[in-house]
């Protein structure tokens, strides 16, 4: 015997089924793009802007008609500067939200956390920040700088200025440690004595810099020109630079060249004591090109803030997103395997007047720029390569990697191919 409740359930079942099918149809009508950046915690100072950048790029693409006849839909999650949570959120985006690509990450520890997920599920990650190299995965596209596109040219620039003693100061995680290992080997190969290299690491969010800055001053007071090469990340940069100013460390005395401080980080600081210190990037807001002017205008219009700055990782997302769009269009599908094949060789404009190409090692070609901090929080470009530099996945200065190359084209299809043994040392990296 059917009860009234049963009759009601039977009547509602087709409605529920229809609603479910409608939701599925709506989902099928969009191409989902995962945006995986920390919106809270120590890295929010840098990553929140990248989330906004992706929303702008997706909005602009939708105004152009979308992609493959569909609108793009951003799926934004906050891993909250919690490195294991990056892996959890990546899995959620791929398996639950069914995104077709993910743009995200900042620290290398966040990327390392996510990497096994992308390889297991064969999705694609566009990673927009400078990193230490020593990796090449078929599932990751590295649109930020490798060490040969940032760290090594920065050291060369300082050496040309007469620097002989080096402070390698970094946050204590994989990117600074590996980058400094490469730099120490590079400096040694160029005749720098071990006693002329000081290495210091501090935890994320470190705030008490008094004794460390005092040590840097003492190290620099030995009669040789000294510089700081900074791989300090996140909000720890604010008290670091403040303490430099408090102790009277000027750029004329001990210049600092930073790899993780750009316009966004400077916008929250008193820059007057920092004038003359340096940063090495592949883009600065001050680049005088029509495409950069248009990008800045679009950004400030989108955010409704005509004081909002742009920076290098934003350009990396700009390049990576446009490369993904080109690859999807070329392949006629968002299928990750097809995109991985189609994207190699794709070339798109950068914002400094040239072009970026996706290389077989999943790194891109980039110009290298050195900028000097100005009192308005912008950078005056004091050095720029005449052309672009191809990102090197494996360092030429480390014994374990100098014989490795990466090439994801068939028939090699290897991220770590040993040219001496003629063997692929790992399927991916």
Q: What CATH number does residue 204 fall under?
A: 3.40.50.2300
What CA–CA distances, in Å, run from 60 to 50, 73, 111, 115, 318? Answer: 15, 12, 27, 29, 11
- pLDDT given at position 269: 82
Cα–Cα dist 227/163, whole Å: 6
What is the number of structural domains in the chain? Answer: 1
- pLDDT given at position 59: 98
The answer to whether position 234 is within a domain reads yes
Contacts of 149-152 with CB under 8 Å at 24 or more apart are 149/282, 149/366, 149/368, 149/389, 149/391, 149/392, 150/259, 150/280, 150/281, 150/282, 150/368, 151/179, 151/182, 151/183, 151/229, 151/259, 151/280, 152/182, 152/183, 152/186
**Domain limits for position 270:** 148-281
- pLDDT given at position 28: 66
Cα–Cα dist 67/130, whole Å: 28
The answer to whether position 181 is within a domain reads yes
- pLDDT given at position 19: 42
The candidate with the shortest Cα–Cα distance to 282, out of 178, 108, 158, 129, is 129
- pLDDT given at position 429: 43
Cα–Cα dist 362/408, whole Å: 8
- pLDDT given at position 96: 98
Q: Would residue 372 be called left, alpha or beta, if left means φ above 0 and alpha means ψ between -120 and 50 degrees?
A: beta
The answer to whether position 119 is within a domain reads no
The answer to whether position 288 is within a domain reads no
The answer to whether position 177 is within a domain reads yes
- pLDDT given at position 20: 42
The candidate with the shortest Cα–Cα distance to 333, out of 58, 105, 90, 124, is 124
> Could you give the count of Cα atoms lying within 13 Å of 341 in the half-sphere of its Cβ?
10
Cα–Cα dist 264/182, whole Å: 27
- pLDDT given at position 3: 46
| pLDDT digit string (tens) for the chain, length 429 residues | 444 444 444 444 444 444 444 444 444 699 999 999 999 999 998 999 999 999 999 999 999 999 999 999 999 999 999 999 999 999 999 999 999 999 999 999 999 999 999 999 999 999 999 999 999 999 999 999 999 999 999 999 999 999 999 999 999 999 999 999 999 999 999 999 999 999 999 999 999 999 999 999 999 999 999 999 999 988 899 899 999 999 999 999 999 999 989 998 898 788 888 899 999 999 999 999 999 999 999 999 999 999 999 999 999 999 999 999 999 999 999 999 999 999 999 999 999 999 999 999 999 999 999 999 999 999 999 999 999 999 999 999 998 899 999 999 999 999 999 999 999 986 444
Are the C-beta atoms of residues 201 and 180 closer than 8 Å to each other? Answer: no
Cα–Cα dist 400/66, whole Å: 44
The answer to whether position 315 is within a domain reads no
Q: Please state the three-class secondary structure of 327-366 as a single string.
A: HHHHHCCCCHHHHHHHHCCCEEECCCCCEEEECCCCEEEE
Total-model pTM: 0.89
The answer to whether position 276 is within a domain reads yes
The answer to whether position 73 is within a domain reads no
């Amino acid at each position: 015997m059917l009860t009234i409740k049963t009759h009601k359930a039977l009547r509602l079942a087709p409605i529920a089924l229809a609603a479910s099918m409608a939701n599925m149809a709506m989902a099928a009508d969009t191409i989902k793009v995962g945006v995986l950046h920390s919106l809270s915690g120590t890295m929010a100072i840098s990553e929140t802007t990248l989330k906004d950048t992706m929303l702008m790029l997706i909005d602009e693409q939708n105004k152009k008609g979308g992609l493959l006849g569909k609108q793009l839909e951003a799926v934004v999650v906050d891993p909250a500067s919690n490195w294991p949570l990056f892996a959890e959120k990546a899995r959620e985006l791929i398996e639950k939200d069914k995104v077709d690509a993910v743009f995200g990450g900042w620290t290398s520890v966040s990327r390392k956390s996510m990497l096994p997920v992308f390889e297991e599920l064969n999705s694609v990650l566009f990673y927009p920040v400078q990193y230490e190299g020593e990796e090449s995965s078929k599932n990751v596209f590295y649109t930020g700088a490798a060490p040969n596109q940032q760290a090594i040219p920065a050291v060369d620039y300082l050496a040309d200025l007469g620097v002989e003693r080096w402070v390698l100061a970094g946050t204590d995680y994989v990117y600074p440690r590996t980058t400094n290992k490469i730099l120490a080997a590079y400096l040694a190969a160029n005749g720098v004595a071990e006693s002329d290299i000081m290495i210091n690491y501090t935890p994320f969010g470190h705030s008490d810099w008094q004794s460390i800055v005092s040590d840097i001053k003492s190290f620099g007071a030995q009669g040789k020109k000294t510089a700081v090469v900074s791989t300090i990340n996140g909000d720890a940069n604010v008290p670091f630079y403040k303490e430099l100013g408090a102790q009277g460390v000027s750029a004329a005395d001990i210049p600092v060249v930073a790899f993780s401080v750009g316009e966004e980080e400077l916008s929250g600081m008193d820059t007057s004591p920092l004038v003359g210190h340096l940063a090495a990037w592949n883009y600065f807001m001050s680049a005088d090109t029509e495409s950069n002017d248009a990008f800045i205008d679009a950004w400030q219009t989108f955010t409704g803030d005509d004081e909002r700055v742009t920076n290098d990782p934003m350009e990396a997302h700009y390049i990576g997103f446009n490369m993904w769009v080109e690859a999807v269009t070329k392949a006629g599908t968002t299928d990750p395997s097809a995109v991985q094949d189609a994207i190699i060789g794709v070339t798109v404009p950068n914002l400094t007047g040239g072009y970026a190409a996706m290389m077989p090692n999943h790194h891109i070609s980039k110009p290298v720029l050195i900028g000097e901090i100005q009192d308005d929080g912008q950078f005056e470009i004091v050095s720029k390569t005449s052309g672009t530099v191809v990102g090197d996945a494996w360092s030429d200065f480390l014994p374990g990697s100098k014989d490795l190359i990466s090439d994801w084209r068939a028939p090699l299809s290897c991220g770590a191919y040993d040219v001496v043994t003629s063997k692929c040392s790992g399927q991916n990296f």
